[in-house]
Amino acid sequence: MAELKCPLCGSNSFYAKDPTDPYEIYEFDLSEGKMIFSSEVDESDLPEVDQETETYCNRCAWHGKLKILG
Ligand SMILES: [Zn+2]
């Protein structure tokens, strides 16, 4: 699988927002096509993340659906 990274800055560090609470964010890295969530994230607490999930770059202003990266 291709390396997934930000099309603007090349970072593989992203976050997604909780659809029910915009102040709640979930940081993750994309590594070898997998989402590696930050250790601060409680996995039982994760929102559903799929190809349609709006994803935000941690380093720059890029955001878009996860599927764009793939
Ligand atoms: Zn970026």
C-alpha 48 – ligand 1 centre gap (Å)? 22
- What pLDDT shows up at residue 3? 75
C-alpha 63 – ligand 1 centre gap (Å)? 8
Asked if residue 70 has pLDDT above 80, the reply is no
- Decide: 52 and 61 in contact? Cβ < 8 Å: no
Q: Which residues, at least 6 apart from 62, have a Cβ–Cβ distance to it below 8 Å?
A: 6, 7, 8, 9, 56
- What pLDDT shows up at residue 45? 76
pLDDT tens across 11-53, in order? 999 999 888 888 888 999 998 878 898 887 777 777 778 889 9
Rounded to an integer, what distance in angstroms lies between the CA atom of residue 3 and that of residue 15?
Answer: 17
- What pLDDT shows up at residue 22? 81
Going from N- to C-terminal start, the domains of the chain cover: 13-69
Whether pTM > 0.95 for this model: the answer is no
